[in-house]
Structure 1
Amino acid sequence: MHDLSEFLVDVLEVEDVGAYFPHRVTYHPTCHSLRGLHLGDRPTRLLSHVRGLELVPLEGADECCGFGGTFAVKNPAISAAMCSDKVRNVMDTGAEVLCAADNSCLMHIGGTLRRQKTGVRIMHLAEILDAR
């Protein structure tokens, strides 16, 4: 079994999937992708080949968003504070879109982005790679 980015880059040896997405994007590498799957730069390598996409580095990218499975339920105040820090870093990038490859992170960060009425959209890596 492979993660999407791992499958594309390592198995198929494809980094340019022909996507076109003319937006300013920042990428959140999830805890699972960093620490569990050890995906490294595979997702950002794929994003760097998307035509029109401006990839903006995210300060504190390797820091958890605060969701972490049951962590958010057991520690709601800490979880919210961690997510607020992540959202502040996202806002500092000036990105239109926050991309990640984990739906739980996208849901958690996206909820805070919406509540704060930031206008930043969230998108899964697969959605951007499928954009034409």
Structure 2
Amino acid sequence: MYELSELLVDVLGVTELGAEFPHRVTYHPTCHGLRMLGLGDKPLRLLRSVAGIRLVELDAAEQCCGFGGTFALKNPDVSTAMLADKARHVLDTDAEVLAAADNSCLAHIAGGLTRMRTGVRAMHYAEILATTGGTR
């Protein structure tokens, strides 16, 4: 079994999918993707090939968002503080969209950004790779 970026980049040798997404995007490399799966920059390499995308670096990108499975339930105060840090870094990018490779991180960060009424959308990077014409 492969994570999508592993399958595309390592197995199939694909880094260009013909996607078009004319938006300012920042990317959160998830703990699971970085530390457990060893994805490195594969998702970013795919995102960089998207036409029209304005990919902006996320400060402290490799810091955890604070979700971590049951971590958020067992340590709600710490989780909330970590989420606040991540949200602040996302907002500092002026991105319209936060992309990531893990739906639990996306749900956690999107929840925080929504509660803050930031207008920043959270999307799995595969959604961006599947977009043409910037219609999403």
TM-score by length of 2: 0.96
The share of aligned pairs that are identical, in percent, is 66
Match of 2:74 in 1: 74
Separation in 1, partners of 2:7, 2:129? 13
Q: Is the partner of 1:106 in helix, strand or coil?
A: helix
RMSD between aligned residues:
0.4
Matched, 1:87 2:58: no
Give the C-alpha shift of residue 123 in structure 1: 0.4
Match of 1:34 in 2: 34
Aligned residue-pair number = 132
Deviation track 1:61-115 (CA, whole Å, cap 9, x = no partner) reads: 0000000000000000100000000000000001000000100000000000000
Amino acid at match of 1:2: Y
Q: Is the partner of 2:68 in helix, strand or coil?
A: coil
Separation in 2, partners of 1:66, 1:109? 9
Q: Is the partner of 2:29 in helix, strand or coil?
A: coil
Q: Once superposed, which parts of structure 1, at least 4 consecutive aligned residues long, lie more than 4 Å away?
A: none
Amino acid at match of 2:40: G
Separation in 2, partners of 1:43, 1:117? 27
Q: Is the partner of 1:85 in helix, strand or coil?
A: helix
Matched, 1:117 2:117: yes
Match of 1:128 in 2: 128
Match of 1:60 in 2: 60
Structure 1: unaligned runs, 5 residues or longer: none
Give the C-alpha shift of residue 129 in structure 1: 0.4
Give the C-alpha shift of residue 43 in structure 1: 0.4
Amino acid at match of 2:80: A
Separation in 2, partners of 1:86, 1:130? 26
Match of 2:18 in 1: 18
Separation in 1, partners of 2:41, 2:109? 21
Separation in 2, partners of 1:59, 1:6? 24
Give the C-alpha shift of residue 55 in structure 1: 0.5
Matched, 1:6 2:16: no
Amino acid at match of 2:31: C
Q: Is the partner of 2:131 in helix, strand or coil?
A: coil
TM-score by length of 1: 0.99
